[in-house]
Amino acid sequence: MKSPKDITIYDIAKALDISPATVSRGLKDHPGIRKDTKKKILEAARQMGYQHNTFARNLRIKKTNTIGVIIPRLNSYFMSTVIAGMEKIANERGYMLLISQTQESAKKEIASVNTMFNSRVDGLLVSLAFDTENIEHFDAMLKKEIPIIFFDRVAEHTKCTSIVINNIKAGYDATMHLIDQGCKRIAYVGGSLKRNVYADRLKGYKQAHAERGVAIDPALTIINTLSEQAGSEAAQQIMQMNPLPDGIFTANDTSAVAIIRELKFAGISVPEQIAVVGFNNDPISWVIEPNLTTIHYPGQEMGEIAATTLINTINNLPAANLNTLVLRHSLIIRQSSQRKK
Amino acid sequence: MKSPKDITIYDIAKALDISPATVSRGLKDHPGIRKDTKKKILEAARQMGYQHNTFARNLRIKKTNTIGVIIPRLNSYFMSTVIAGMEKIANERGYMLLISQTQESAKKEIASVNTMFNSRVDGLLVSLAFDTENIEHFDAMLKKEIPIIFFDRVAEHTKCTSIVINNIKAGYDATMHLIDQGCKRIAYVGGSLKRNVYADRLKGYKQAHAERGVAIDPALTIINTLSEQAGSEAAQQIMQMNPLPDGIFTANDTSAVAIIRELKFAGISVPEQIAVVGFNNDPISWVIEPNLTTIHYPGQEMGEIAATTLINTINNLPAANLNTLVLRHSLIIRQSSQRKK
DNA sequence: GTGAAAGCGCTAACAT
DNA sequence: ATGTTAGCGCTTTCAC
């Protein structure tokens, strides 16, 4: 396990009979170092097998060029797309990504924040776990002025930027569409109301009903984990309802697809008997039959914007001091909700 | 951007009127430090807001507790599942994950390796890009005895462990199944033959044909990027063939689904006219109609095993010095390939 | 059980 | 244009 021994700038300095400082400068294009000296240094470094020591540098300059990413889960289409966007930007701007999953647990989230803190990340990109109650665990970082950006599942904080879509409007759009298709009893299936995304979508659902003067039966609201399994169970629950709902708006596509499958299996026709609208525009939404009406959620773009904003903030660049950034969403109407020609 | 000032072990030492060495020891359960001293130190650390400095420590002990992950793309079901598995294990064992995407480019792969090298990761988990020709860019790390594990898209190297499934057998299983269903002209759609996974699956395809004495028309082999777009194009190409193939084996499910959609759109019935088998057991495989026959690829498990093996190697634990680890795959037969009752 | 002191490899202010 | 020097914060050997 032990390496022969690392080459340092001192070794190069000695070999070339110059000072370590000059080597350090030569290695990084410092202005005011002769061309030939620089060339000599680079050449020596290369052939001695010199490897830059990032730690020593970090220790010295107190900057890591590393961004921490804390997310509930990595393995969903939406999240992997977001991360892909973040990685792209980070890579372009010379930052590395340190990634940690909370598995939807507040406890793990706290642990992750602490690890990131100790790793001295330059900034944090966070989407909150289902059951996170407050965001005090970020206080230590904020006190040190380490910028934190929340995305998707966000928290209100005067010092942090949030990047979201307008979930209220999206919920409103989805629900209004169902109402326009003639639905009178629309079920809502969503995740924990502690999280803005689900609370807001429910709000939009209510707004749409209110605006059209349609009463809401509270029994039609189901809160679950939005997993495939949970979707199937929700479908069972819905099919027990009497009278049967004639529309379902659910807060992700995984759930929507699971529900449609159960309904079809039970011989209930979609959209004729029950119209369904999902959320995210996951690839499965255009594979399921009938194709799923859903809200397009720009994941890659959200990742890119989050990373860009964070890096700009870290470097005190302009356009950094925003409170909230709202991306555009759109309702994609497909067959699963269309009852009218 | 400037923090008030970090608390160090010296500050704690001064406050408690003891030495920094004692503080350092107290902070980490060093045997041979009095219980009450330790308690005093921990208490002071807590209330002074002490934050451990990982860099200084790394610099000192030359270990980072960080694992580098280099992959083609993050945003596929398979890869995000793998990463989720890795993160789980890394987290449990106190390691962090540094992730980088090559976007299928060898050039970016080389850059990533260098960054990881400079970041002094303790080990590397790698799945190769489409067009990587050789693996010399890993030599510097290997020379320093930094362990590297390849998974999925691997390369032969005496010093590295590879984690794979038996792609030849998987390709054989898929093809043999199609032959058993009565297919006589089976097309193969796969990715770059520079990568073991695609070359091996093609090999299996050929083996199955050879074993049954069925001749192969080379015109039936299509090499592309396996994207959705590429899948649609492959379908177009296949539909031009005369005579039409009666079976398609394609190396991922994204491609398979795109192909099925095109075929259906063109009025070709699946599986009656053309039977289709995919690869990966992506969620879309059981949503598409007809449900897709595919090879189950244990992504999460592969990620967990890769991470476990790497961490064991880093720590010189037993069972670490393996050359190749082969995980179990299985053929999942669904409707897209079933012609017989 | 605790302390003194020497570095880990690099950078940057200051000097030349 | 280059050199000197003083740390960054921590660990650890060797003393006591």
- The pTM score is 0.91
How far, in Å, is the CA of A64 from the C1' of nucleotide C8?
18
- Specify whether the CB–CB gap between B271 and B288 falls below 8 A: no
How far, in Å, is the CA of B22 from the C1' of nucleotide C3?
8
Longest dimension (CA), chain A: 89
Specify the pLDDT at position B171: 98
Residue nearest to nucleotide C7 (CA to C1'): B60
Specify the pLDDT at position A1: 35
> B332 phi and psi, to 5 degrees?
-105, 110
Half-sphere exposure in the Cβ direction for B15 (13 Å, CA): 19
Residue nearest to nucleotide C2 (CA to C1'): B22
Specify the pLDDT at position B323: 86
**A83 contacts: CB under 8 Å, gap ≥ 6:** A69, A71, A74, A97, A99, A303, B74, B75, B99
Mean pLDDT taken over chain B: 93
**Quick one: tokens of B27?**
């902070």
- Specify whether the CB–CB gap between A50 and A43 falls below 8 A: no
What domains, with CATH codes, occur in chain A? 9-52 (1.10.260.40), 64-166+299-328 (3.40.50.2300), 167-297+331-337 (3.40.50.2300)
User: Distance of alpha carbon B15 from its chain centroid, rounded?
Assistant: 49
**B66 contacts: CB under 8 Å, gap ≥ 6:** A98, B95, B96, B97, B98, B119, B120, B121, B122
Strands of the sheet containing A221-223, edge to edge, are A221-223, A186-190, A247-250, A275-277
**Residue indicated by tokens 């000599």:** A40
Specify the pLDDT at position A298: 97
Nearest-angstrom CA–CA distance, B282 and A257: 14
> What does each of the 341 residues of chain A score in pLDDT, given as a tens digit?
334 578 899 999 999 999 999 999 999 888 888 888 899 999 999 889 888 898 899 999 988 899 999 999 999 999 999 999 999 999 999 899 999 999 999 999 999 999 898 888 999 999 999 999 999 999 989 988 899 999 999 999 989 999 999 999 999 999 999 999 999 999 999 999 999 999 999 999 999 999 999 999 999 999 999 999 999 999 999 999 999 999 999 999 999 999 999 999 999 999 999 999 999 999 999 999 999 999 999 999 999 999 999 999 998 877 656 789 999 999 999 999 998 76
Return residues 83-102 of B near A (CB < 8 Å).
83-84, 87-88, 91, 96-101
- Helix, strand or coil, per DSSP, at residue B26: helix
Measured between alpha carbons, how far is residue B235 from residues A174, B263, B338 in Å?
34, 7, 20
**Residue indicated by tokens 């939404």:** A285
> A181 phi and psi, to 5 degrees?
-85, 5
Bridge partners of residue A277, in order along the sequence: A249, A293
Nearest-angstrom CA–CA distance, A14 and A16: 5
How far, in Å, is the CA of A90 from the C1' of nucleotide D6?
34
**Residue indicated by tokens 């925003």:** A322
Query: Given A49, A80, A316, which is nearest B74 (Cβ)?
Result: A80
Find the residue in A nearest to B117 (Cα). A51
Specify the pLDDT at position B221: 97
| Residue B51 sits at the chain A interface (C-beta within 8 Å) | yes
- In our burial notation (b when 16+ CB lie closer than 10 A, e otherwise), range A154-170 reads bbeeeebbbbbbebbbb
Residues with CB under 7 A from strand C: A 6, 8-10, 20-21, 24, 27-28, 50, 52-53, 56-57, 59-61; B 17-22, 25, 32-34, 37, 56, 59-60, 62
Specify the pLDDT at position A341: 63
**Quick one: tokens of B291?**
């449900």
> What does each of the 341 residues of chain B score in pLDDT, given as a tens digit?
334 578 899 999 999 999 999 999 999 888 888 888 999 999 999 889 888 898 899 999 888 899 999 999 999 999 999 999 999 999 999 899 999 999 999 999 999 999 898 888 999 999 999 999 999 999 989 988 899 999 999 999 989 999 999 999 999 999 999 999 999 999 999 999 999 999 999 999 999 999 999 999 999 999 999 999 999 999 999 999 999 999 999 999 999 999 999 999 999 999 999 999 999 999 999 999 999 999 999 999 999 999 999 999 998 877 656 789 999 999 999 999 998 76
> Are B56 and A59 a contacting pair at CB < 8 A?
yes
CA-based nearest distance B140→chain A, Å: 8
Specify the pLDDT at position B4: 55
In sequence order, what DSSP letters do the residues of B148-182 get, joined into one string?
A: EEEESS----TTSEEEEE-HHHHHHHHHHHHHHTT
Nearest-angstrom CA–CA distance, A327 and A105: 27
**Quick one: tokens of A156?**
């209100």
Specify the pLDDT at position B322: 78
Specify the pLDDT at position A129: 97
The reply to whether B195 has its C-beta less than 7 Å from any atom of strand D is no
